[in-house]
Amino acid sequence: MEKLTGIKKKVAIFISGRGSNLKSLVKYSKKKNSKINIILVISNNSKAKGLKYAKKNKIKYYAVYYKNLYNFEKKILKLLKKFKIDFICLAGFMKILSKNFIKKFKKPILNIHPSLLPKFKGLETHKRVLKNNEKYSGATVHLVTSKLDSGKIILQKKIKIFKFDNEKTLEKKILKIEHEIYPKAIIKFLSNL
Ligand code: GRF
């Protein structure tokens, strides 16, 4: 028997922009056998496109004003507690959460990164991958720690880089696999709890 039958975890998705990974997670959450309910979408950017998508899908969303990290995280922690969130998925969230936040939240935080971690942590990933003449790149879903893009890897998918690839083509191909692996990583993560 499956460990989590009938129990859907309450999830908050953190975004900063476009929200295509949010979209893929919402799609997954609507499947009959999905293991999650997306309860909240939080953004540090009130203009994030993903917020419109949350609204359209009747998911509660909050653009949390960022004055300083401490106050920002305090407001978010309050929301997470209020909605009894079981875990967070970062999806293109451009702020680095503090050690204090991770400690206080106490529950898992997942992130997706467009490289084959531990290689190419941080921003401008595709540009650096190409500059380094890598043969492969990909996407990684991992647990969040206070060190950037460094927690335990849950799932990774690799793609080949061709001579004709540029930043745009690579981004497009990798985004496609991001949308595929984030839901899969959640299923894997929950089944190992
Ligand atoms: C994705 O490439 C994700 O891996 C990275 O930021 C991008 C966000 O895209 N962390 P989107 O907002 O989900 O479309």
Using an 8 Å Cβ cutoff, are 149 and 122 in contact? Answer: yes
5 C-alpha to ligand 1 centroid (Å): 30
Q: Structure tokens of 68?
A: 């300083």
The owner of tokens 């900063």 is 16
138 C-beta closer than 6 A to ligand 1: no
Strand partners, 63: 43
pLDDT digits (tens, 9 = 90+) for 164-176: 999 999 999 999 9
| % of the chain exceeding 90 in pLDDT | 92
pLDDT digits (tens, 9 = 90+) for 34-78: 999 999 999 999 999 999 999 999 999 999 998 899 999 999 999
Pocket test for ligand 1, best of 45, 88, 97, 112 (most atoms within 8 A of CB): 112
Point out the ligand 1 atom lying closest to the alpha carbon of residue 21.
13
Residue 186's contacts (CB-CB under 8 Å, 6 or more residues apart) are 25, 28, 35, 36, 89, 110, 141
Q: Where are the beta strands (DSSP E) in the chain?
A: 9-15, 36-43, 60-63, 87-90, 109-113, 136-143, 153-160
- pTM of the model as a whole: 0.94
21 C-beta closer than 6 A to ligand 1: yes
